[in-house]
Amino acid sequence: MPNSQLFSVIKQISPETKTVVMVLLVFCQMFLLSACSSQEDKWRVSLQQQALVSDTKLKRLKNHIKSGNVANTRILNHYADIISQNKPEMSMISDALAEDASNQGPIIRSLESRLSDANSDIPLALSGGYDAVNKVFQELSTIEIAANPDTYNMMLTDPINVLADMSDGKLARVAALSKEASARMNSADNFGAGSQLIGNPQYGSWNSNSSGGSFWQWYGQYAFFSSLINRPVYYSNWGRNRDYSYYNDYGRSAYTSPSQRQGQESVQRRTKERFNRSGKKFNSPYAQAKQTTSTVARKQAKFRPKSVARSAPKTTTSNYRSSSYQSSRSSFGGK
């Protein structure tokens, strides 16, 4: 019943009854406001807890990197030094790739930026309801996953294997099949040096040309890769014939920001529409994971960010501890 009709009815009843009804209405309004405030407070606690967990995990990862406790940082630096010594003309690109062995690399800087953005989004999310809150919570949870030292260690295999390929076979790939075996098993095209990094938004982006197609453009410090091949890499061809890379086959869900994911989905959608207009079919480049070593495949679990519970946990301490060590749980405080 609309408020105008409700107050019209109230006017027609006795003063005594009217007083009782008005008291009940005020009580109901206070109860609803209290419930809303209580729910918002619970969400705020959940978001702040997860933000603290993610921030702690990221700081811990940076300390591990600085202390040399992430094994692949040492390999990446070693491979970069060898390439610089044996191929001085490639020293700039090898040095750029070696940045990921430090806290100044694009992967760490991207995680820091994402955490800052997620924290900034908390106040607006609280006023936007459950879906908005859950969206921020999942991003914070995903950052926690990405800050796991073992996961970061695997992310470094892509730049390591790029350097291995640049060594003309003198350096071995890490946690991956040989270049020849991988191309054969995955029916992959050769997209030139740096191909493991194509599609990874830390190193470049997909740009549209005048005909509506999308091509890969390296960021400035990685532009040297463009000089090593004589043709642009188009999304349509790459998407159908790419080879294995850790980012594209396992790490994408954790190491891609919401805006970067939207960009990837937009390129995929435009390409699919363009193919449909020509009567052709285009499948997602990520529809099926490419083949790699069985060891890597066994280690990788599906990344599944947590969801914020509609009711906050009863205690904060126990849930802080559980979310710190069980990043694959399906809900905050869930089973």
Buried b (16+ CB within 10 A) or exposed e, 2-16: eeeeeeeeeeeeeee
Q: Indicate the pTM of the whole model.
A: 0.81
Written as tens digits, the pLDDT of the chain (335 aa) is: 555 554 455 455 555 555 554 545 545 555 444 455 688 999 999 999 999 999 999 999 999 999 999 999 999 999 999 999 999 999 999 999 999 999 999 999 999 999 999 999 999 999 999 999 999 999 999 999 999 999 999 999 999 999 999 999 899 999 999 999 999 999 999 999 999 999 999 999 999 987 888 999 999 999 999 988 878 999 999 999 999 999 999 999 999 999 999 999 999 999 999 999 999 999 999 998 999 886 676 666 555 677 776 644 333 333 333 333 333 333 443 33
Residue where the block lists tokens 């009217």: 18
CA distance to 11, 186, 193, 299, 313, per residue, from 289 (Å): 69, 10, 21, 14, 36
